[in-house]
Structure 1
Amino acid sequence: MADIDNLRPLFFQLPPFRPAIKGWNRLEGRPRQADFERSLRAEVRDPLWMLTRQWQFGEFIGEDAGSPVDARMLTHQTYLNRYAVKGGPAQPLPIDIPLETRVEREAWPDDLGSQVRTGRYFEKLLRKQGVFSTKNAHLTQYSIRADEPNTTYDKDTDQTREAVAGKIINGGLLVKAIRDGSYANWVDLTTPSTDYRTKQKDAANELMVWLGQFSSQPLSDADNAWAASNLEYQFACAADDDTNGSQVVLQAEQYENGQLDWYSFDVDIDNKLEAPEGSTIEPIKSLDECLSFIPAPVSFQGMPNPRFWQMESERIEFAQMDVNTTDVIKLIMTEFMLLYSNDWCVFPYERKIGSLCNIRGLVVTDVFGQRTNIRSAGSTIDHEWTRWSFFRQHAKADASVDLSLLLPALGKPAESQPVEKVNFIRDEMSNMVWAIESVIPSPLGRGVNGYESALAAQNATLPPPITLLPTAAKIRYILGTSVPYNWIPFIPVQVPNNNRDIQLQRARMPDSAALFKGEILDETAPYFIHEEEVPRSGKLITRTYQRTRTPAGNVALWVGRKVTVGRGEGSSGLGFDQLMDLEG
């Protein structure tokens, strides 16, 4: 009865079908001769050979299969309206920006580059408001210090700071003052003119609007999806169904590669994303559609042609694919393309982004007038051995999930050079993991070489070598060797209340100057990483500026992280209690 109830609206209950065909194109021939007799002959030099080949390919066997001429589909769509990070409370999920932007975005760094850029723009706003004469007062109150320490030892930073100190307003201090209200109080106390006070506050308001358009930043410190112990992003989305009050929760617990798609999510049928106490998140009205289509045969480059007198395109040759026995997906796709591609039809279905679609009924009518109800290939529960599907959401429990997810995800963003790069490697000789800061962010907001910065810090902070007393001994005792300053150690420690499992804890070398310089390792102490998160191949984490445009044409700019496979094991050369032979 359930199938009959689903199919009934396809023919009886709903209003006439809304066709999905947008228009018609008519093809007309342009013959050059009035006689078509020879063109219709399809002449061949050896007709017997051609008939034999047709017999070999089974073209003389009747299948009594009718071609589809009409498809009617009943769908039910819900829309993503909730978002939560790392098991926290739910918050509304507008689709004004891509989902990757919302997940990856970090607080914009308050470095020298941001201070200068924001300060220069505020000076333009003061000139626009006609109160540029107050710039000197702003310079006195919000100044860029010339003696600020440069921990990265970047020469460009020192030269830029020397050039802008005392000449450009410190945009970082100014924005903080605007947000906490101290700027308005300072303007009221230092500006006697009411007109000037109003114009300066208007310039401050315009500056905050510009910053909101300039970069996408998290709403609060809790709005951070980066799971530092797992070296990945963890978040969840949900869609409320206003028809029955149900909720579909989609968990993304291992997002790390910078590109979200339907396979990044698992359906969690046992939990719900609850809004904070005292607040509500309204569901988006669901949509029921009943559509009528004319199915069209599937076509793609290199597809075998069904007619004997047609030759395939030479651009793609699937029969020459280099496939190993372990390439199961490639083997399946190749078999489909070579043997069954002519048996498939396709019809387009336009949907809104951020939608979850459930196909409640699909009826196909062939040329003989026979109607066939098409059921989903994965309509059974997960533990059934007959369940199989290419494109479906995996469920955390034994359940049938027949949903199609269309995410508000990125296409191809513009990405900067790495602002920061950390390479996690295993060092079996020293029995620890090293986090190597190969690229670190400079105060100008760009990435600089971590090895060169570490060498400069080492030369600037190491004490002069100690003069050894003359001795007749030909050996020298070394208590311990050192490593470059950009090598941060992670030592194995036991998991609490567990005598077998270990985890990796961030440590430090005895030298006080050997501290991390980037944001990736800047976590509250003690900082632990799960031991299995750093395999033998290692992990490489990069931070970059990314930029794209939303469907509305607005610019989205943010700072995000991406995790890729590392470069294998390494050796730091760290050793203790060594005897070294002296030369001569």
Structure 2
Amino acid sequence: MPEFDKLKSLFLQLPLFQPTIKGWNRLEGRPRNRDFERSLRAEVRDPLWMLTRQWQFGEFQGEDAGSPVDARMLTYQTYLNRYAVGSQPAQKFETNIPLEARVEREFWPEDLGSQVRIGRYFEKLLRIHALPYKDNYLTQYVIDASAPNPVYDKDTDQTRAAVAGKVINGVLLQKAIADGSHAIWVDALPQLADSDRTKLKTTASELVLWAGAFATQPTSTADNAWSGTHLEFQFACATDDADGTQIVLRADQYDSGHLDWYSFDVDANGKLEGAVSEPEQPLEECLSFIPAPVSFNGMPQPRFWQMENGRIEFSNIDANTTDLIKLIMTEFMLLYGNDWCVFPYERKTGSLCEIRGLVITDVFGQRTFVKPAGSGIDDDWTRWSFFSLSTNAPTANTASFLPPALGKTLESQPLEKVNFIRDEMSNMVWGIESIVPTELGRGVNGYESALAAENATRPPEPELQPTEAKIRYVLGTTVPYNWIPFLPAQLPGSNRDIRLQRARMPDLAASFKGRILDEPAPYFVNEEEVPRSGKSVIRTYQLTRTKDGKPVLWIGRQALISKGEGRSWLAFDQIVDNAI
């Protein structure tokens, strides 16, 4: 008691003496010494400690299983041979270019840049073949010096003035070669030797081959997978089986610029009609492998005295509750990494592979038949699979699709960019051309172009007459010329659902200048395609190489999330102060 009386004053000083609750969530101790040399030695002082440590790591927990030593797999592969856009007949699937280039490509613009580029190359061919007829071509295929410049780009005006009358219009020449008028014109040239006429026609053929290999372009106007209503690409591919059946793969929501297996869904009820060449024969083969344990950087070792390479710090993984894939992969690496085996299997791109059988033989000589993950009824929510294709059939599709997609690509600065934003104050959507293409084939600032167009075309404000009135009436305000309105319009047969219809401001000069908004009227965009966060659609030049090193150039589009809502400050029927 005397000792307690001495300590009573400390217990009564509540601000200085607070109760604490301690907890431990780790199995090992937390040393306070900065020197970890002795701890890293993992000294063994007691056999009982070693046994408890092994029990702690689960090394005494056995499984009635054996390590695999042999794997036999039966596979069946079919190959893509059909490609279709919308309701158009199927075309032959091209394997010489990536699928993204086939889907995204569009016709090369017939602008001033193309006229000069093709014309200069034809002049080079004339010099190579010693044909001194450039002046004749300059008279017949002329670059128009007075052509309009809708984006008011000064570089375009200066370039046109510099090349007009000095460079052959290559676009007009290419069209003339295609429709046969060039050959007629060559035959009509006076005082021309027959050998030179033949050389000019041969040179024209060389120009057509060079221009066709410069960039990949659609085969026709119907070969266009872009859906302006959905602001995305929509297309389908198919494989023909040996018995005549088809497996149709549809990609109805492709907009990201990179295609992979998850971009496709299996359409069990669809069929792509159209005459195509004989499909590649399906491949059925049985292969034998020696399974190897899965390994990856930073993989935890199954034994206590084995050290990891430390390339992955699992304690630094930042995973939220919604990062399902990251949580699953982390659990796999930490708990089940050494329970999995892998064996390589090389496949041809553009193949749809079905594993019809997988038999594993373990060290005890027992054979186990492994079914594909995710097999069963497609709407079974307990079904687990990572790489299965979605399907509208009752049973799941367990085939693996390897699309002929891009590896690496070079992408230019945006040639064109349109931001779709919601303006809740005016109850409409705006398509803002923030980057517009010029006649030289490059993008310029859309706001600067709109300001130049406004200064050049808008009439001066009328001069107000002196009056004693302190207010005046304004019918409506205006917006920059690069803001294109989309008004809500009711869907046919519905009193509630709407879609967005392209409109225009009263000024005729305030119209779209690029290709993204250049759709046949009336042009509608589905209302759900423009979320509150907005959407941006860009056009860029893209370059890649095929597996044999051949360069492939095309103009493609991407739809990206934008920066949110905006406000145009558009207003009607206003009373403002009459400041004169």
Q: TM-score, normalised by structure 2?
A: 0.91
Residue 61 of structure 1 aligns with which residue?
61
Residue 25 of structure 1 aligns with which residue?
none
Q: 1:351 aligns with which of 347, 353, 359?
A: 347
Residue 73 of structure 1 aligns with which residue?
73
CA 1:544–1:401 in 2, change beyond 3 Å: closer, same or farther? same
Tell me the amino acid that sits aligned with residue 457 of structure 1: A
Hey, what's the Cα distance between the residues in 1 that align with 2:234 and 2:355?
Answer: 29
Compute the displacement of 1:317 (Å): 1.7
In the TM superposition, what are the counterparts of 1:146-545 in structure 2 within 5 Å?
A: 146-190=145-189, 192-242=192-242, 244-275=243-274, 279-545=275-541
Tell me the amino acid that sits aligned with residue 259 of structure 1: H
- Tell me if the contact between 1:427 and 1:571 (Cα under 8 Å) persists in the aligned partners: yes
Compute the displacement of 1:378 (Å): 1.2
Residue 95 of structure 2 aligns with which residue?
95
Secondary structure of the residue aligned to 1:426 is strand
- Tell me if the contact between 1:108 and 1:559 (Cα under 8 Å) persists in the aligned partners: yes
Secondary structure of the residue aligned to 1:185 is helix
Hey, what's the Cα distance between the residues in 1 that align with 2:487 and 2:46?
Answer: 78
Hey, what's the Cα distance between the residues in 2 that align with 1:50 and 1:120?
Answer: 82
Hey, what's the Cα distance between the residues in 1 that align with 2:214 and 2:69?
Answer: 52
Are 1:551 and 2:547 matched, yes or no?
yes
CA 1:508–1:43 in 2, change beyond 3 Å: closer, same or farther? closer
Greater Cα offset, 395-404 or 524-533? 395-404
Tell me the amino acid that sits aligned with residue 53 of structure 2: R
- Tell me if the contact between 1:491 and 1:506 (Cα under 8 Å) persists in the aligned partners: yes
- Tell me if the contact between 1:541 and 1:561 (Cα under 8 Å) persists in the aligned partners: yes
Hey, what's the Cα distance between the residues in 2 that align with 1:271 and 1:249?
Answer: 6
Greater Cα offset, 342-351 or 281-290? 281-290
Secondary structure of the residue aligned to 1:69 is strand
Compute the displacement of 1:583 (Å): 3.5
Hey, what's the Cα distance between the residues in 1 that align with 2:45 and 2:215?
Answer: 71
Secondary structure of the residue aligned to 1:97 is coil
Hey, what's the Cα distance between the residues in 1 that align with 2:229 and 2:395?
Answer: 31
Compute the displacement of 1:397 (Å): 2.9
Compute the displacement of 1:51 (Å): 3.1
Compute the displacement of 1:66 (Å): 1.0
Hey, what's the Cα distance between the residues in 2 that align with 1:567 and 1:90?
Answer: 39
Residue 29 of structure 1 aligns with which residue?
none
The C-alpha deviation readout for 1:331-358, integer Å capped at 9, x for no partner, is: 1111111100110000000011100000
Compute the displacement of 1:208 (Å): 1.0
Residue 565 of structure 1 aligns with which residue?
561
Hey, what's the Cα distance between the residues in 2 that align with 1:247 and 1:564?
Answer: 33
Secondary structure of the residue aligned to 1:172 is helix
- Tell me if the contact between 2:227 and 2:233 (Cα under 8 Å) persists in the aligned partners: yes
Tell me the amino acid that sits aligned with residue 478 of structure 1: V
- Tell me if the contact between 1:91 and 1:281 (Cα under 8 Å) persists in the aligned partners: no
Compute the displacement of 1:495 (Å): 1.1
- Tell me if the contact between 2:533 and 2:563 (Cα under 8 Å) persists in the aligned partners: yes
Secondary structure of the residue aligned to 1:574 is coil
- Tell me if the contact between 1:97 and 1:556 (Cα under 8 Å) persists in the aligned partners: yes
Tell me the amino acid that sits aligned with residue 447 of structure 1: G
- Tell me if the contact between 2:82 and 2:276 (Cα under 8 Å) persists in the aligned partners: no
Higher radius of gyration, 1 or 2: 2
Residue 83 of structure 2 aligns with which residue?
83
Residue 113 of structure 2 aligns with which residue?
113
Hey, what's the Cα distance between the residues in 1 that align with 2:339 and 2:315?
Answer: 19
Tell me the amino acid that sits aligned with residue 557 of structure 1: L
Residue 37 of structure 1 aligns with which residue?
none
Q: TM-score, normalised by structure 1?
A: 0.90
Hey, what's the Cα distance between the residues in 1 that align with 2:425 and 2:389?
Answer: 43
Secondary structure of the residue aligned to 1:422 is strand
5+ residue gaps, structure 2 = 1-40
Count the aligned residue pairs: 538
- Tell me if the contact between 1:478 and 1:577 (Cα under 8 Å) persists in the aligned partners: yes
- Tell me if the contact between 1:86 and 1:227 (Cα under 8 Å) persists in the aligned partners: no
Hey, what's the Cα distance between the residues in 2 that align with 1:297 and 1:233?
Answer: 41
Greater Cα offset, 146-155 or 60-69? 60-69
Compute the displacement of 1:412 (Å): 1.7
The C-alpha deviation readout for 1:287-334, integer Å capped at 9, x for no partner, is: 111111111111111110112211223331223322222222211111
- Tell me if the contact between 1:68 and 1:366 (Cα under 8 Å) persists in the aligned partners: yes
Greater Cα offset, 216-225 or 64-73? 64-73
Secondary structure of the residue aligned to 2:396 is coil
Hey, what's the Cα distance between the residues in 2 that align with 1:430 and 1:46?
Answer: 79
CA 1:466–1:336 in 2, change beyond 3 Å: closer, same or farther? same
CA 1:164–1:130 in 2, change beyond 3 Å: closer, same or farther? same
Secondary structure of the residue aligned to 2:133 is helix
- Tell me if the contact between 2:90 and 2:276 (Cα under 8 Å) persists in the aligned partners: no
Hey, what's the Cα distance between the residues in 2 that align with 1:73 and 1:496?
Answer: 54
CA 1:314–1:189 in 2, change beyond 3 Å: closer, same or farther? same
Secondary structure of the residue aligned to 2:281 is coil
Hey, what's the Cα distance between the residues in 1 that align with 2:453 and 2:473?
Answer: 26
Hey, what's the Cα distance between the residues in 2 that align with 1:144 and 1:345?
Answer: 66
- Tell me if the contact between 1:364 and 1:374 (Cα under 8 Å) persists in the aligned partners: yes
Hey, what's the Cα distance between the residues in 1 that align with 2:205 and 2:550?
Answer: 20
Compute the displacement of 1:399 (Å): 2.0
- Tell me if the contact between 1:441 and 1:448 (Cα under 8 Å) persists in the aligned partners: yes
Compute the displacement of 1:496 (Å): 1.4
Residue 579 of structure 1 aligns with which residue?
575
Secondary structure of the residue aligned to 1:145 is coil
Identical counterparts, % of pairs: 67
Secondary structure of the residue aligned to 2:270 is coil
- Tell me if the contact between 1:451 and 1:486 (Cα under 8 Å) persists in the aligned partners: yes
Residue 136 of structure 1 aligns with which residue?
135
- Tell me if the contact between 1:476 and 1:579 (Cα under 8 Å) persists in the aligned partners: yes
The C-alpha deviation readout for 1:335-393, integer Å capped at 9, x for no partner, is: 11110011000000001110000001111111111111111121102122332201110
Compute the displacement of 1:498 (Å): 1.6
Hey, what's the Cα distance between the residues in 2 that align with 1:46 and 1:151?
Answer: 86
The C-alpha deviation readout for 1:497-525, integer Å capped at 9, x for no partner, is: 22121111100000010010000000111
Hey, what's the Cα distance between the residues in 2 that align with 1:491 and 1:583?
Answer: 33
Compute the displacement of 1:52 (Å): 2.0
Hey, what's the Cα distance between the residues in 1 that align with 2:454 and 2:236?
Answer: 44
- Tell me if the contact between 2:419 and 2:433 (Cα under 8 Å) persists in the aligned partners: yes
- Tell me if the contact between 1:114 and 1:172 (Cα under 8 Å) persists in the aligned partners: yes
Hey, what's the Cα distance between the residues in 1 that align with 2:45 and 2:211?
Answer: 76
- Tell me if the contact between 1:82 and 1:281 (Cα under 8 Å) persists in the aligned partners: no
Compute the displacement of 1:65 (Å): 2.1
Tell me the amino acid that sits aligned with residue 263 of structure 1: Y
CA RMSD of aligned residues (A): 1.3
Hey, what's the Cα distance between the residues in 2 that align with 1:542 and 1:43?
Answer: 59
Secondary structure of the residue aligned to 1:337 is helix
